[in-house]
């Protein structure tokens, strides 16, 4: 089994921890490990390091390698520019195809937090078994635990078969992030699952489907394939990537292919997208404060306290996010954490680049 971890994301929503443009998957957000390290640790029980591939932006390849010293350098695939998941998956597929044209690959995002790695391991094994039995493009749907409006949903169709403890369904429909009312309906209706961004397929099958539905991407990938191992390889990748369409694998392939199926899984999972979303993964005190780092809190409640090298002391406050990192103190109302980009814009305007 080959594992592909998509770690190409950029992003500043965890500023000031993300200072120096480190994207969230490379930050130590939880348990003093980066999201990428945690992701790799979760797949190590089912895959050898030489079968694990990381796709990342060229700017972050060195940092990825530093964080994962046991992953062979050649398995860290560098994108010159982010072009969404179809290109990222296509690139990794041609690398794996050269090693093992009959290989099975499982694709995972690097910015998810999963608290029950044992269930994930079972799921990965189920995907692997299912691929031996059925030549499908599998997508994984997580059973919703509340009506989340921030995720896409997949509606399951009829049952296909059972593998291990996992029931496989046809996919009826992919749906975009819903409003709250719709999310509540989806939550009641057990047929709707969270789109996890986890996929499994044979490498030859995904390449075949890319050829069918994204022919220009496929031609580009072939051009890259021809260049691999030659001195000009990255030059070719750079040129070809420039021409790639920015399209997701869901939209570009999964929603069009007739060979798709969905495996529902019960996994405690969260897309860690902002300071606010960290709350449930940090240590909690009796006043419902979520805490990382050294702190002294008095009459302080419902706050997220995230210190790196300095002590954070709070007195008589609530519903705040207090972050100290990289020479910066950031204090924000919990409801406003999505707006951290406004701070970054202000810093850019004032040319305070040291803090970006």
Residues forming the site for its own copies (CB under 8 A): 16, 294, 296, 298-299, 307, 309-317, 320, 322, 324, 327-333, 335-336, 339-340, 342-343, 346-347, 350, 352, 355
Nearer to its own copies, 153 or 330 (CB): 330
User: Environment class of residue 158 by beta-carbon count within 10 Å: exposed (0-12), middle (13-18) or buried (19+)?
Assistant: exposed
To the nearest whole angstrom, how small is the minimum distance from the Cβ of residue 297 to its own copies?
9
What lies within 8 Å, CB to CB, of 345 at 6+ separation is none
To the nearest whole angstrom, how small is the minimum distance from the Cβ of residue 19 to its own copies?
10
Question: What 3-state class would DSSP assign to 228?
Answer: coil
Q: Which two structure tokens, joined as six digits, stand for 224?
A: 């890259």
To the nearest whole angstrom, how small is the minimum distance from the Cβ of residue 16 to its own copies?
7
Nearer to its own copies, 30 or 343 (CB): 343
Which H/E stretch holds residue 153?
A: strand 153-163
To the nearest whole angstrom, how small is the minimum distance from the Cβ of residue 119 to its own copies?
37
Report the C-alpha gap between 115 and 269 in whole angstroms: 7
To the nearest whole angstrom, how small is the minimum distance from the Cβ of residue 273 to its own copies?
17
Over its C-alpha atoms, the chain yields an Rg (Å, rounded) of 21
User: Environment class of residue 327 by beta-carbon count within 10 Å: exposed (0-12), middle (13-18) or buried (19+)?
Assistant: exposed
Nearer to its own copies, 173 or 345 (CB): 345
To the nearest whole angstrom, how small is the minimum distance from the Cβ of residue 320 to its own copies?
7
Nearer to its own copies, 132 or 309 (CB): 309
CA distances from 49 to 1, 90, 240 (A): 11, 21, 28
Q: Which two structure tokens, joined as six digits, stand for 148?
A: 């989340």
Report the C-alpha gap between 65 and 67 in whole angstroms: 5
Q: Where are the alpha helices (DSSP H) in 100-179?
A: 117-133
CA distances from 281 to 9, 149, 302 (A): 21, 20, 14
Report the C-alpha gap between 130 and 151 in whole angstroms: 26
Nearer to its own copies, 287 or 311 (CB): 311
To the nearest whole angstrom, how small is the minimum distance from the Cβ of residue 28 to its own copies?
18
- How many Cα atoms are found within 13 Å in the side-chain-facing hemisphere of 167? 11
What lies within 8 Å, CB to CB, of 220 at 6+ separation is 90, 240, 241, 243, 244
Nearer to its own copies, 118 or 346 (CB): 346
Nearer to its own copies, 26 or 314 (CB): 314
- Cα–Cα nearest to 209, from 171, 260, 253, 251: 253
To the nearest whole angstrom, how small is the minimum distance from the Cβ of residue 317 to its own copies?
5
Nearer to its own copies, 180 or 311 (CB): 311
């Amino acid at each position: 089994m080959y594992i592909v971890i998509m770690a190409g994301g950029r992003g500043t929503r965890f500023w000031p921890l993300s200072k120096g443009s480190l994207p969230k998957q490379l930050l130590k957000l939880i348990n003093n490990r980066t999201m990428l390290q945690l992701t790799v640790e979760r797949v190590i029980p089912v895959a050898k390091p030489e079968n694990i591939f990381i796709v990342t932006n060229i700017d972050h390849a060195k940092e990825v390698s530093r964080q994962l010293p046991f992953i062979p350098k050649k398995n860290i695939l560098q994108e010159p520019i982010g072009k969404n998941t179809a290109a990222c998956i296509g690139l990794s597929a041609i690398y794996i195809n050269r090693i093992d044209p009959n290989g099975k690959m499982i694709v995972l995002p690097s910015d998810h937090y999963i608290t029950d790695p044992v269930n994930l391991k079972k799921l990965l094994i189920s995907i692997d078994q299912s691929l031996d039995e059925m030549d499908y493009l599998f997508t994984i749907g997580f059973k919703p635990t509340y009506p989340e409006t921030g995720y896409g949903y997949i509606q399951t169709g009829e049952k296909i078969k059972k593998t291990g403890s996992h029931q496989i369904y046809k996919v009826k429909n992919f749906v975009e992030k819903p409003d709250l009312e719709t999310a509540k309906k989806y939550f009641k209706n057990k047929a709707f699952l969270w789109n996890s961004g986890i996929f499994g397929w044979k490498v030859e099958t995904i390449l075949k489907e890319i050829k069918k539905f994204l022919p220009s991407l496929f031609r580009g990938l072939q051009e890259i394939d021809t260049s691999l191992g030659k001195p000009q390889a990255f030059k070719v990748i750079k040129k070809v990537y420039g021409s790639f369409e920015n399209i997701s694998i869901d939209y570009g392939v999964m929603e069009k292919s007739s060979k798709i199926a969905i495996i529902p899984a019960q996994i405690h999972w969260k897309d860690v997208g902002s300071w606010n979303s960290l709350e449930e993964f940090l240590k909690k005190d009796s006043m419902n404060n979520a805490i990382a780092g050294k702190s002294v809190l008095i009459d302080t409640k419902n706050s997220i306290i995230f210190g790196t090298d300095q002590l954070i002391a709070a007195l008589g406050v609530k519903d705040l996010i207090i972050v100290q990192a990289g020479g910066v103190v950031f204090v924000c109302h919990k409801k406003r954490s999505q707006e951290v980009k406004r701070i970054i814009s202000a810093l850019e305007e004032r040319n305070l680049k040291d803090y970006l």
